């Protein structure tokens, strides 16, 4: 079980993402604004942050840059475009994965769990 934050400003896919992660026994907390997510992140670091964005705009990339400075969670960006340039910008800003929203929900859950597992193993190994 992991604690997963979802930042979704579009409200398009998140309910399904929320449901599949909860069905896999994760604690999921959802935010509809960058400001709300940042306040929560200042209080507690989740095992993973999923950012669902209709458009990968400067707010998303600025949030990622700010997270790099502290005790940051791994980040998966789920975006409809996920064109090459957006994926590159996402990785350069600190995302651990950038996924096209058309990927299956099970694939998204497995990618998330894989990243969480690797991060936990790194923490235990140090």
Structural domains of the chain ordered from first start: 3-125 (3.40.50.2300)
Supply the pLDDT for residue 46: 95
Percent of the chain clearing pLDDT 70 (strictly above): 90
**Would the pTM of this model clear 0.75, i.e. be above it?**
yes
Say how far apart CA 29 and CA 53 lie, in whole Å: 16
Range 66-70 contact pairs with CB under 8 angstroms and sequence separation of 24 or more: 66/38, 67/41, 67/94, 68/93, 68/94
* pLDDT score of 110: 94
- The answer to whether residue 4 scores a pLDDT higher than 80 is yes
**pLDDT at residue 14, rounded to an integer:** 58
Task: Give residue 94's pLDDT.
Answer: 85
**DSSP labels, 24-92:** TT-EEEEESSHHHHHHHHHH---SEEEEE-SS--HHHHHHHHHHTTSSPPPEEEEES---HHHHHHHHH
Query: What confidence score (pLDDT) does residue 126 get?
Result: 57
The residue-averaged pLDDT of 4-21 equals 79
Q: What is the mean pLDDT of the chain?
A: 84
């Amino acid at each position: 079980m992991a604690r997963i934050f979802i930042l979704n400003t579009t409200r398009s896919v998140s309910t399904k993402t929320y449901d599949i992660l909860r069905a896999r026994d994760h604690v999921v907390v959802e935010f509809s604004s960058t400001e709300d997510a940042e306040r929560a992140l200042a209080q507690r670091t989740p095992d993973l942050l999923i950012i669902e964005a209709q458009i990968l705009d400067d707010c998303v990339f600025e949030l990622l840059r700010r997270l790099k400075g502290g005790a940051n969670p791994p980040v998966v960006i789920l975006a409809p475009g996920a064109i090459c340039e957006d994926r590159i910008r996402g990785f350069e800003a600190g995302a651990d994965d950038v996924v096209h929203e058309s990927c299956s929900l099970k694939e998204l859950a497995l990618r998330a769990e894989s990243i969480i597992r690797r991060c936990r193993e790194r923490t235990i190994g140090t």
